Amino acid sequence: MSLTKRDKAIIADLKRFSVMDRDSIAEIHFAGLKNPTYSANNVLLRLLRDGHIQRSTAFSPYVYFGEESKIKKNSQKIGHFLAILEVYKEMRKLGPLEVFRVEPKYGSKGGVEPDIFCRFRSTPFFVEVQNSIYSQKQMADKMDRYIDLYNSDILADPKPHVLILAEQRYALDDTYPFKLFQAQSFTEFMKSLKKVPSVPVDSGIQIRIG
């Protein structure tokens, strides 16, 4: 059976996010149907049977991978990728999301590798999704790598803001060549912006609320 447009979109998203749970696939690709979960199950079983995707039953709901994925089916990194996926689902509900890239690499080995680069409401962001707790030194070292990146000629203008999504707030009070935000979730970040009419961007672009 040839792949449908939706089949190809699911496979592309599995490659982009590395791993997706069944419910997220149903939400993203089967919204508007009478029973998204049932429909998603049927399509995923067919794609699995035909060898286009892989599956792990170690999670509930099950999680799925692309055909060529090398991720171990019980890898601890699965939780991290699913957290990135949750951010994507939040953002697409809150406003225009023009770009969403997972773990892009910038510069040489050991340089900056944000969890997300996105363009939300025409404003670029690097997003760090912190499932695990970093020490203050680890986070400071990460910010130093961002400083090096921003002081290089790698990034095009306008340069992204940096947003840290974590349960805890880090003491990052230095002056940076970028705007730094911290919040427990992207939804909480957007709520915090409602305290002011807009968040200015150095380039003149603004995230507008409402």
Residue pair 132/164 in contact (Cβ under 8 Å)? The answer is no
Percent of the chain surpassing pLDDT 70: 92
- At residue 26, the pLDDT reads 98
| pLDDT over 60 at 167, yes or no | yes
For the chain, what's the residue count? 210
All structural domains of the chain with their residue ranges: 5-71, 78-208
* Residue range 5-71 in CATH 3.10.129.10: no
For range 118-140, the mean pLDDT: 92
For residue range 59-91, what is the model confidence (pLDDT) as tens digits? Answer: 999 999 999 999 998 898 999 999 999 999 999
**Average pLDDT score, the chain:** 90
| pLDDT over 80 at 205, yes or no | no
Residue whose tokens read 């419910």: 23
CATH number, span 78-208:
3.40.1350
- At residue 207, the pLDDT reads 54
Residue whose tokens read 């969403």: 100
Strands (E), the chain: 20-21, 53-56, 63-66, 97-102, 116-120, 123-130, 161-166, 180-183, 198-200, 206-208
- At residue 203, the pLDDT reads 40
- At residue 200, the pLDDT reads 46
5-71 and 78-208: identical CATH topology: no
Residue pair 207/199 in contact (Cβ under 8 Å)? The answer is yes
